[in-house]
Structure 1
Amino acid sequence: MDELLIGLFAIVGGVLRWLVGQLLPTGQWPLTTLLINLVGSFLLAWMSGNIVRRLKIPAALSLALGTGMIGAFTTFSTLTLDVYHLILSQHWWLALTYIVSSIIGGTLMAAAGMWLGSNQRREASIDD
């Protein structure tokens, strides 16, 4: 059952990723992939820090949301391919900036998601 839910949610995440790619401009700088990965880092951490515990989401649904939807929405493989193309076209500075932005930005977004999720949990327990 977990596999089916993961697959269904992966379809949603993949389509969302494609839609975001259609809305954002493309160019030399891989902005679309960077933004998708930053948003995905935030959402996964926020979901882990808040939604699952607060709403008591079943483990199967949590797995489907995280692994399926957010996993399909974000993409490490596209990041590495983007870096490869930047290096091939001798845009070393852009490649390095992109890698650093992705790693540091993703970590900061995950920290922000966990912080927000933790604060929402505290507020919810105060209200209860």
Structure 2
Amino acid sequence: MDELVIGIFAFAGGILRYGLDQLIPFGDYFPVPTLFINIIGSFLLALITTAWSLNERISARLTLGIGTGLIGAFTTFSSFSLEIFDLLANHQYLLGFGYAALSLISGIIGAWLGILLGEKLHPREDKSEW
């Protein structure tokens, strides 16, 4: 049953990714759409897993469907990797390495902000885990 839930949410995540990718007009020289999508995904995954894992009223299956299915299909490591390769293959070393560094740093910051907001929405009883 988990596979079906993940699949349904993954379909929606893929459609959302494609739609947002089409709305962001800056992808010709620098992969802004993928960068933006992956930052949003990092934030949302951290937010949802933090806030919902601390809330017993949210089902684990729904969290799995949204986290693994929706956000997993919305974000993409493969496009990120291919875009870096394309930049480097076209001798755009500064852009390629800059894109990789910016993606990594901004993804971590997005996840950190998602965790902070998730904990504000549903505070932990025991802070010793951090």
* TM-score of the aligned structures, taking structure 2 as reference length: 0.90
Give the C-alpha shift of residue 41 in structure 1: 0.1
What is the CA distance between 1:119 and its match in structure 2? 1.1
**Matched residue type, 1:95:** G
RMSD: 1.0
C-alpha separation between the residues in 2 aligned to 1:29 and 1:104? 17
CA displacement 1:97-117 (0-9 Å, x = unmatched) = 100011111001000000011
Aligned residues: 122
Query: Match for residue 95 of structure 1?
Result: 96
Higher mean C-alpha deviation, range 60-69 or range 47-56: 47-56
Question: 1:82 matched to which residue of 2?
Answer: 83
CA distance in 2, matches of 1:108, 1:56: 28
Q: Deviations over 1:36-93 (max 9, x none)?
A: 0000000000001113433621111111100000000000000000001001111000
Partner of 2:14, secondary structure, is: helix
Q: Distance in 1 between matches of 2:13 and 2:120?
A: 26
Larger helix percent: 1
CA distance in 2, matches of 1:82, 1:55: 40
* Separation of aligned partners in 2, 1:23 and 1:8: 23
Alignment partner, residue 9 of structure 2: 9
User: What is the percentage of aligned positions where both structures have the same residue?
Assistant: 43
* Structure 1 runs (4+) greater than 4 angstroms displaced: none
1:61 aligned partner: 62
TM-score, normalised via structure 1 length = 0.92
| Separation (CA, whole Å) in 2 of partners of 1:55 and 1:11 | 26
Aligned counterparts of 1:5 and 1:120: Cα–Cα separation in 2: 25
**Tell me, which stretches of 5 or more residues in structure 2 are unaligned?**
124-130
Give 2:46's aligned residue: 45
